[in-house]
Amino acid sequence: MKQVIASNDAPAAIGPYSQAIRHGNLVFLSGQLPIDATDGSVPDDIQAQTRQSLENMRHVLAATGCTMDDVVKTTCYLADMELFQEMNEVYRSFFGSAPPARTTIAAKGLPRGVLVEIDCMAVHTDE
């Protein structure tokens, strides 16, 4: 059965979608923008934006009972592929020795003019 997941520690959805959906042991997160949930601000540079997007991801995953270690696939959307190396430096620090599979694409016109958006899929392991 499909379960809608929401975390007050991450920005609310800005459209008709859920922050995340859990179906069985699968968790699907919508794209996480680099918006600070406390004040709505967006950092200026790609590294800070990547960090904020991944922190938002961490908060939504926590609401599902998952951690970053449970992530099996991400998709990173960059406003410009020239930002790849700087994004990658921060991204690397959020995942251990077994990072998830990943696709990175250039996407013109991300919401609110941000430089990065990241979504993911995770597997919830019931103990």
Q: What whole-number distance in Å separates Cα of residue 109 and Cα of residue 107?
A: 6
Scanning the chain, the segments in alpha helix (DSSP H) are: 46-64, 84-94
- List, for residues 36-57, the tens digit of each pLDDT value: 999 999 999 999 999 999 999 9
Given this model, what pLDDT does residue 1 score?
85
Q: 127: pLDDT confidence band, cut at 50, 70 and 90?
A: low
- Amino acid identity at 2: K
Q: Structure pTM? A: 0.95
Please report, for the chain, the start and end positions of each structural domain, with discontinuous segments joined by +. Answer: 2-123
Alpha-carbon span 92 to 114, nearest angstrom:
20
Calculate what percentage of the chain has a pLDDT beyond 70.
99
3-state secondary structure of 119: strand
The CATH number corresponding to 2-123 among 3.30.365.10, 3.40.50.10860, 3.30.1330.40, 3.40.50.300 equals 3.30.1330.40
Q: What is the pLDDT of residues 50-98, one digit of tens each?
A: 999 999 999 999 999 999 999 999 999 999 999 999 999 999 999 988 9
